[in-house]
């Protein structure tokens, strides 16, 4: 593999003769497999070789001691190669590039090494009083990892409030304290997020009572602010706006081919961002023109007829835009490291093209197209049950959120004689 990136035999011999030569060659293979360019690999390998020599000069003889030498080496590198006239932000950028190369190599070479990260709060902020709470959520309630992450986020808010008011023991939790938390969060938190936070804390209180940490179960004392059911408006856009969004995609580029296929999947099938990110090559049955969506939010799978225009967009991406990768995921990042896109990337993709098309909608993102798909089905005369089955809902009440306004009928009322629309 080294011969592919270094022409001179002496360069290859020098790398392999280094005491970290085996690890460096492993790093080269990893960079190549993840789509890094030849120039990037050729630039990074000398850095890690010099790092190995620097560490050896400072008495390091085992791989497990290498992480301690990262920052001293970066400082030495900057001192030798960055003059005094270099701007601070440029110096920081160069240092980060060197640091990232070393950390990537160490993640492969040193077991358990993850690199320095920004300070993170503990996974369970109430580890002392409720150490098995998240085990309870996973094993007894059967919650998904993504849902448990939301529980963790809400409990961190509760822990932060405890710290602010000086409460150290969760056994002293009381209804007035909960009221104070709601009063503090209300001005800075959306209604839906506050509702979810209150729901998480209610579950947490019931668990503490079951474990006899709390004497009484006062979970019912915590009430989120009231909100009228179906009081908000949908985030759907018109079909003309959908066309405008699709026309803004530069389909000649690899990224454009991928994004065009993603947008078509969003608006045609009303898929969630998580469902698109989880799509694999095995979920498309080309012979029978079928698209399978496994493990939906409601816990079931759905099969759709593969639309001709969607199929053509996916084929165009697979042939002319998808990077070479052993991953079976359908959509991949366009830049190294080559890896599957995540749900956040799908949401950002939708929001970016909505903004590019000049379409303003509350909370722009992938769900805008899900709402649009539901509205399109409603306008076509499908029943609530039919729309819910198409979108993958477990309960009809979930479908009503997307179909609570007959947009076209209201437009007729606004533009002319309302009796014609009745």
List, by residue number, the catalytic residues.
Answer: 272, 297, 367, 370, 393, 402
Residue 413 and residue 422: Cα distance in Å, rounded? 9
Burial class (CB in 10 A: 0-12, 13-18, 19+), 417: exposed
The answer to whether 55 and 66 are in contact (CB under 8 A) is yes
Q: How many other C-beta atoms lie within 10 A of the C-beta of residue 67?
A: 19
Q: d(Cα 136, Cα 276) in Å, to the nearest integer?
A: 29
Helical residues (DSSP H) of 357-406, grouped into ranges: 366-379, 384-391, 396-400
CA distance 384 to 375: 11
Reduced to 3 states, what is the DSSP secondary structure of residue 197?
helix
**Dist. CA 254–CA 390, nearest whole Å:** 30
Helix (H, G, I), strand (E, B) or coil at 227: coil
CB burial of 112-144 (b: ≥16 within 10 Å; e: otherwise) equals eeeeeeeeeeeebbbeebbeebbebbeeeeebe
Instruction: Provide φ and ψ at 284, rounded to 5°.
Output: -110, 120
Q: 353, 249 in Cβ contact below 8 A?
A: yes
Specify the DSSP element, H or E, that contains 246.
helix 239-247
Residue 17, token pair as written in the block: 């003769």
């Amino acid at each position: 593999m080294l011969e592919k990136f270094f022409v001179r035999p002496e360069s290859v011999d020098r790398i392999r003769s280094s005491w970290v030569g085996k690890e460096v060659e492993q790093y080269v293979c990893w960079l190549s497999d993840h789509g890094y360019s030849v120039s990037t690999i050729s630039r990074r390998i000398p850095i890690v070789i010099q790092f190995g020599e620097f560490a050896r000069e400072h008495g390091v003889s085992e791989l497990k001691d290498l992480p301690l030498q990262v920052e001293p080496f970066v400082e030495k590198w900057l001192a030798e190669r960055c003059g005094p006239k270099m701007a601070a932000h440029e110096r920081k950028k160069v240092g980060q590039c060197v640091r990232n190369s070393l950390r990537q190599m160490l993640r492969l070479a040193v077991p358990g090494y993850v690199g320095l990260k920004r300070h993170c709060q503990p996974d369970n902020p109430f580890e002392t009083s409720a150490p098995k709470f998240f085990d309870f959520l996973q094993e007894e309630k059967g919650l998904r990892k993504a849902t448990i992450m939301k529980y963790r986020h809400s409990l961190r808010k509760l822990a932060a409030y405890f710290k602010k008011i000086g409460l150290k023991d969760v056994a002293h939790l009381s209804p007035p304290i909960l009221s104070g938390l709601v009063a503090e969060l209300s001005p800075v938190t959306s209604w839906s997020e506050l509702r979810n936070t209150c729901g998480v804390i209610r579950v947490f209180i019931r668990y503490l009572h079951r474990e006899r940490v709390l004497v009484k179960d006062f979970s019912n004392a915590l009430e989120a602010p009231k909100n009228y059911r179906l009081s908000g408006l949908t985030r759907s856009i018109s079909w003309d706006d959908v066309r405008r969004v699709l026309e803004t995609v530069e389909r000649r580029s690899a990224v454009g081919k991928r994004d065009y296929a993603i947008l078509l999947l969003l608006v045609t099938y009303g898929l969630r961002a998580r469902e698109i990110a989880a799509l694999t090559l095995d979920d498309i049955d080309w012979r029978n023109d079928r698209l399978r969506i496994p493990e939906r939010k409601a816990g079931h799978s759905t099969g759709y007829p593969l639309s001709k225009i969607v199929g053509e967009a996916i084929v165009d991406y697979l042939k002319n835009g998808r990077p070479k990768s052993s991953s079976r995921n359908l959509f991949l990042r366009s830049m190294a490291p080559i890896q599957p896109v995540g749900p956040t990337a799908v949401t950002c993709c939708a929001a970016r093209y909505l903004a590019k098309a000049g379409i303003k909608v509350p909370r722009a993102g992938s769900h805008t197209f899900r709402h649009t798909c539901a509205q399109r089905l409603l306008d076509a005369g499908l029943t609530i049950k039919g729309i819910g089955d198409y979108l993958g809902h477990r309960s009809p009440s979930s479908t009503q959120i997307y179909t609570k306004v007959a947009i076209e009928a209201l437009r007729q009322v606004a533009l002319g004689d309302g009796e014609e629309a009745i």
